[in-house]
């Protein structure tokens, strides 16, 4: 089997509801699609979700990477020799992790389709579904509580509240959300690098009665020792997100800098790298969340298949597709009562028209 055609193109989508984090205000997202056609007629799909503050990429750099270096490496290659292809590309596209993720995703999609099996089964087949949280951006206290109630009414069992701009306001909002939704709902908080060590400790202490499940990336990603100090000083599990971009980062975090890691395919460069990072985390007894950017459902499916295959992935935050208007891959995953399911078709389980 050989790849005979490589196509990539951008799709710009507005969000139904813009949201705010400590890093940015998000109103729209551009994903880059990748289509690999083989001489057997099988077609594999991938998608990149570049985000300049997080991945260091723009849609333009990803398109250039896929249409240049990646296309040259892919055209004429056997897609089942995935590791050989990806190792070559990582040498040349280290600064384009979501572009790498798109290629890796498309190659895995082809592998599953060639085998006639869903990817999560090929990767390990640990579980058929997983609960996902849904994110609430930075909003005034009353609006945060109202949105939390609405998400629970929609069937979600886990909520992630964003913050990091105002520790006092964050404390009040978390308490209000807990009051609004009751104790049966899992509640997580993501500071997106916005806190100091002292603010992190204060936040955890003053929200103790809200029974948070975890605190995600409280301190700046470049200051690794600060994350370690928070982890040491608070009772709540601390999760590294932006601090984890590479396999080497995973080794560093495993030395006591965090209790958990958030693995996003767009940050780490695809499923193959996520699998290795998960192995490091498991060896270090760190729990894993699979997260996402503002991604189309096809990319969410890739993260889902990874999560379903690995027992060490105990949390999912795969909601990046829910607010995208005009997603060409809507339907690549199924959501029911806050639980995500794959389509159970071969590969990633979806074909574009």
Residue-wise pLDDT for 85-127, tens only, equals 999 999 999 999 999 999 999 999 999 999 999 999 999 999 9
Which whole number is the average pLDDT over 297-318? 97
Is 46 in the same domain as 125?
no
pLDDT for the residue numbered 21: 81
Q: Can you give the residue range of the structural domain that contains 106?
A: 3-116
| Catalytic residue list contains 190 | yes
Which residue is catalytic, options 190, 294, 295, 327?
Answer: 190
Q: Is residue 347 part of a domain?
A: no
Same domain membership, residue 331 and residue 200: yes
- Catalytic one among 71, 109, 170, 241? 241
Tell me which of 264, 278, 294, 317 is the catalytic residue: 264
**Residue 336: predicted pLDDT:** 97
| pLDDT of 293 strictly over 80 | yes
Q: Is 176 a catalytic residue?
A: no
345 assigned to active site: no
Asked whether residue 107 falls in the same domain as residue 197, the answer is: no
Q: What's the CATH code of the domain at 73?
A: 3.30.390.10
Find the catalytic residue in 113, 160, 162, 221.
162
Question: Looking up tokens 């260091």, which residue turns up?
Answer: 56
Residues 100 and 128 occupy one common structural domain: no
CB distance 212 to 234 below 8 Å:
no
Residue that terminates a domain, selected from 100, 116, 132 = 116
pLDDT, mean of residues 62-73: 98
Q: Are residues 317 and 210 in the same domain?
A: yes
167 and 269 inside one domain = yes
Domain boundary among 71, 89, 116: 116
Q: Is the pLDDT score of 18 beyond 80?
A: no
Q: What is the mean pLDDT of residues 249-277?
A: 97
Query: Where does a domain end: 116, 133, 153?
Result: 116
Do residues 109 and 162 share a domain?
Answer: no
Domain identity same for 242 and 305: yes
Maximum Cα–Cα distance for the chain, whole Å? 61
Compare 79 and 24 and report the one with higher pLDDT: 79
Structural domains counted in the chain: 2
Whether 79 and 207 map to the same domain: the answer is no
Mean pLDDT of 331-353: 96
Tell whether 51 and 130 lie within a shared domain.
no
Residues 96 and 172 placed together within one structural domain of the fold: no
What's the sign of the alpha-carbon dihedral 163, 169, 175, 177?
A: negative
Q: pLDDT tens-digit profile of 33-43? A: 999 999 999 99
Tell me the DSSP string of 138-206: S--HHHHHHHHHHHHHTT--EEEEE--S-HHHHHHHHHHHHHHH-TTSEEEEE-TT---HHHHHHHHHH
Residues 186, 102 share a domain: no
Catalytic residue from among 96, 186, 216, 278: 216
Average pLDDT value over all residues in the chain: 96
């Amino acid at each position: 089997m050989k790849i005979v055609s490589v196509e990539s193109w951008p799709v710009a989508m507005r969000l139904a509801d813009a949201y705010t984090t400590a890093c940015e205000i998000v109103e729209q997202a551009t994903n880059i699609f990748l289509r690999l056609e083989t001489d057997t007629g099988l077609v594999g799909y991938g998608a990149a979700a570049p985000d300049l503050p997080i991945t260091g990429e723009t849609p333009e750099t990803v398109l250039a990477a896929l249409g240049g270096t990646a296309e040259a490496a892919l055209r004429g290659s056997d897609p089942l020799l995935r590791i050989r292809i990806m190792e070559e590309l990582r040498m040349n596209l280290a600064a384009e992790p979501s572009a790498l993720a798109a290629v890796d995703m498309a190659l895995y999609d082809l592998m599953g389709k060639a085998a006639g099996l869903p990817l999560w089964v090929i990767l390990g087949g640990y579980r058929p579904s997983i609960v996902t949280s849904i994110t609430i951006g930075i909003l005034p206290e009353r609006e945060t509580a109202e949105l939390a109630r609405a998400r629970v009414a929609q069937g979600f069992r886990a909520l992630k509240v964003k913050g990091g701009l105002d520790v006092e306001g964050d404390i009040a909002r978390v308490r209000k959300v807990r009051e609004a939704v009751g104790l049966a709902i899992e509640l997580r908080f993501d500071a997106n690098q916005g806190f100091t060590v002292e603010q992190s400790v204060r936040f955890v202490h003053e929200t103790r009665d809200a029974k948070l499940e975890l605190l995600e990336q409280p301190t700046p990603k470049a200051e690794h020792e600060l994350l370690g100090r928070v982890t040491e000083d608070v009772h709540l599990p601390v999760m590294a997100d932006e601090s984890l971009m590479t396999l080497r980062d995973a080794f560093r975090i495993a030395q006591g800098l965090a209790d958990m890691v958030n693995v996003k395919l767009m940050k780490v460069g695809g499923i193959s790298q996520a699998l290795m990072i998960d192995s490091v985390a498991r060896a270090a007894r760190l729990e894993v969340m699979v997260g996402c950017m503002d991604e189309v459902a096809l990319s969410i499916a890739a993260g889902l298949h990874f999560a379903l295959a690995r027992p060490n992935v105990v949390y999912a935050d795969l909601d990046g597709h829910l607010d995208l208007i005009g997603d060409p891959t809507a339907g690549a995953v199924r959501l029911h009562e806050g639980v995500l399911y794959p389509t159970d078709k071969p590969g990633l389980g979806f074909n574009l028209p």
